[in-house]
Amino acid sequence: MSDGLRKGLTSYGDAGFSLFLRKAFIKAMGYSDDALDRPIVGITNTHSDYNPCHGNVPQIIEAVKRGVMLAGAMPMVFPTISIAESFAHPTSMYLRNLMAMDTEEMIRAQPMDAVVVIGGCDKTLPAQIMAAVSADLPTVVIPVGPMVVGHHKGEVLGACTDCRRLWGKFRAGEMDEAEIEAVNGRLAPSVGTCMVMGTASTMACITEALGLSLPMSATIPAPHAERFRSAEQSGKLAAAMAVAKGPKPSELLTPAALRNAQVVLQAIGGSTNGLIHLTAIAGRTTYRLDLAAFDRLSREVPVLVDLKPSGDHYMEHFHHAGGVPKLLAQLGELIDLDAKTIYGSLRDAVAAAEDVPGQDVIRARNDPIRSEGAMAVLSGNLAPRGAVIKHSAASPKLLQHSGRAVVFDSLEDMAARIDDPGLDVAADDVLVLRNAGPQGAPGMPEAGYLPIPLKLARAGVKDMVRISDARMSGTAFGTIVLHITPESAAGGPLALVQNGDVIRLDVEARRIDLMVEDDELARRRQALPASRQPAPLRGYARLFHQTILQADQGCDFDFLTGQGGD
Ligand code: FES
């Protein structure tokens, strides 16, 4: 038998002794033989004092344990890495794959028949799903849920679209120090994840669309009682999956499920980071995410959810309007409702979707926020393997634009010069940041939202075309081209741009081009130094540097993908 406590015995060369020893030690915790004979549901604990977004995890764990025990199984909680956006240096993305490795290997190493993973802050759900796909044990995902909204002077506030907007006002001199401090205490009024359609909310919605979590689990606010009832239900379901030995992620993540997730990503006005994470998740399966197909979907799928930064509302409003099930219902034939889930099929979720009279957060197909999807995939001589723009959160007048390049060679260079009164920059220029990609920074920081140079901000400029090989927070607004691939540190054409070159953005034609002759570009390439900085000599930094894939492959490590490395 290889279930429950008998699974994955430690290697001593004598299986009977291995089990004897394991039971002897676990009995130190006071467990009875009856408890130890039950199917085991592992529960990941990602609570951390450094992760306020996961502040409700202890209460979620208690609810999951209750559900597991009500269903007659045995819950076992174990810690994994936790990553919070604003506490991770150099950037949380640098650690996503480490969390995925940790989670995958601890699921494999310890005896459990099913696992409940609890995550939420941006990189955690992707890391946990990547791990679950690779470990391929029956898995229930529980997002921690969004924060409730804040208020300031009669205005509704949300982290972190309003963090950026109001910081921009402060930089422009439109808000004084005392007021920005007051705002600082009101932007995040509860535990939970950012309550706009940032990366955390995007990934929670994608998780629900993939069928890996219970209906409504993406949107229930983090402090609400309903969040903990849903966790209890998740525990019960995980216990049943432990007995049934399925469904496993490999049974759920089919091409139909992955396509559904892409449709939802477009329809919610999701974060551009969601595309990288979904690419990485698909990369753990035998399927691949096709960027050209994703772009074709962007012409077909309307944005239906009216949430910041593309729209006006916040996650709790999305929840009260019917959440992801209602959205799936509105999307109609764009969604394959036969896609299997941990609880049945998406058809079950849609059948139970609530009809909320008068709600205007989840629009009908004939009354969309935008008739096209949230983001477009660009190509061109600046991005031979692609780039992305969230045009639903951009200035329409800048979507077809040519301008003079103002180049920053690195994050440090940008920080040193962007506010220099002597910087030669005008509102219709194109700000360029390079060496901020997966390998270059490293970890592809969310630096693609280049600040408007101070002198222009003070003159009232709110948006400019900005391009980079970096990522951007899903909470940000602007005409911003991201994930330029290959990145400049890997020899991508972004490395060849010089101040004063003309860059042309044409979102309708899906192009981003450097208007410089090919022979001049070839000459510049010859003059490039071999490498900007030496490879790290040891540790995780070296592993990262040697194996990180580009954005079009989800920035996974090459040896962690479905087919593994060379
Ligand atoms: Fe954790 Fe936004 S900082 S979700």
- What confidence tens digit (pLDDT) does each residue in 27-71 have? 999 999 999 999 999 999 999 999 999 999 999 999 999 999 999
What are the backbone dihedrals phi and psi of residue 330, each rounded to the nearest 5 degrees, phi first?
A: -65, -30
Query: What angle do the packed helices 225-244 and 57-70 form, to 10 degrees?
Result: 50
Q: What is the mean pLDDT of residues 442-452?
A: 93
200 lines ligand 1 (CB under 6 A): yes
**Using CA positions, which residue lies closest to atom 2 of ligand 1?**
194
**Closest Cα to atom 3 of ligand 1:** 85
- The token pair at 449 is 């939202």
Number of neighbouring beta carbons within 10 Å of residue 496: 22
Distance of CA 203 to the CA centre of its chain: 5
Per-residue pLDDT at 532: 67
Q: Are 429 and 401 in contact (CB under 8 A)?
A: no
Length of the chain: 566
Q: Which of 50, 56, 121, 446 is the best mutation target for the ligand 1 pocket, counting ligand atoms within 8 Å of the beta carbon and taking the most?
A: 121
Phi, psi at 67, each rounded to 5°? -65, -45
The gap from C-alpha 293 to its chain's centroid, in whole angstroms, comes to 20
Q: How far apart are CA 405 and CA 97, in angstroms?
A: 34
Domains along the sequence of the chain with CATH: 38-148+190-351 (3.40.50.2300), 150-184 (no CATH), 376-534 (3.50.30.80)
Alpha helices, DSSP H, located in 145-290: 161-171, 177-184, 199-209, 225-244, 249-252, 255-267, 272-284
- The whole-number pLDDT of residue 291 equals 96
Nearest to 392 by CA among 464, 334, 478: 478
Neighbours of 224 (CB within 10 A): 18
What's the 85 CA to ligand 1 centre distance in angstroms?
A: 6
- Averaged pLDDT, 146-159: 93
**What b-and-e string marks burial along 92-126, b requiring 16 or more CB atoms within 10 Å of the CB?**
bbbbbbbbbbbbbebbeeebbbbbbbbbbbbbbbb
Distance CA 26, CA 427 (A): 66
- Lookup: tokens for 239: 């216990």
Q: What are phi and psi of 96, to 5 degrees?
A: -55, -45
Among 45-54, 250-259, 459-468, 473-482, the minimum mean pLDDT is found in 473-482
Return mean pLDDT, the chain.
Answer: 95
69 in Cβ contact with 33 (< 8 Å): no
Residue 193 Cβ contacting ligand 1 at under 6 Å: yes
317, pLDDT greater than 80:
yes
Say yes or no to pLDDT of 298 above 80: yes
Residue 5 has pLDDT above 90, yes or no: yes
Q: How far apart are CA 173 and CA 185, in angstroms?
A: 20
Percent of the chain with pLDDT over 90: 92
Closest approach atom of ligand 1 to CA 120: 4
In SS3 terms, 324-389 reads as: HHHHHHHHHHHCCCCCEECCEEHHHHHHCCCCCCCCCCECCCCCCCECCCCCEEEECCCCCCCEEE
Atom index in ligand 1 nearest the CA of residue 86 equals: 3
Tell me the CA–centroid distance for residue 28 and ligand 1, in Å.
38
Whole-number Å distance between alpha carbons of 6 and 250: 24
Is 50 buried (19+), middle (13-18) or exposed (0-12) by CB count in 10 A? exposed
- Token pair recorded at residue 229: 């009832």
Of 53, 91, 187, 205, the one to substitute when testing ligand 1's pocket (max ligand atoms within 8 A of C-beta) is 53
**pLDDT over 80 at 418, yes or no:** yes
> Which of 241, 426, 407, 208 is closest to 323 using CA atoms?
208
pLDDT, tens only, 224-277: 999 999 999 999 999 999 999 999 999 999 999 999 999 999 999 999 999 999
CB atoms within 10 A of CB 464: 25
pLDDT (mean) for 492-511:
97
d(CA 292, CA 295): 5
Paired tokens of 214: 């219970």
Residue 408: Cβ within 10 Å count: 23
Residue reference for tokens 């439109």: 174
Which residues, 6+ apart, have CB-to-CB distance to 242 below 8 Å? 39, 40, 41, 73, 112, 113, 114, 138
What local confidence, expressed as pLDDT, does residue 566 receive?
56
Tokens of 89: 């240096």
Structure token pair of residue 189: 């009024």
pLDDT at 161 over 50: yes
Please work out whether the CB of residue 208 comes within 6 Å of at least one atom of ligand 1.
no
For residue 1, pLDDT beyond 70: no
Position 176 confidence tier, pLDDT thresholds 50, 70, 90: very high
Cα 175 to Cα 138: distance, rounded to the nearest angstrom? 51
- Contact by Cβ (8 Å): 350, 329: yes
Is any atom of ligand 1 closer than 6 Å to the C-beta of 187? no
Please give the structure tokens belonging to residue 559.
């040896």
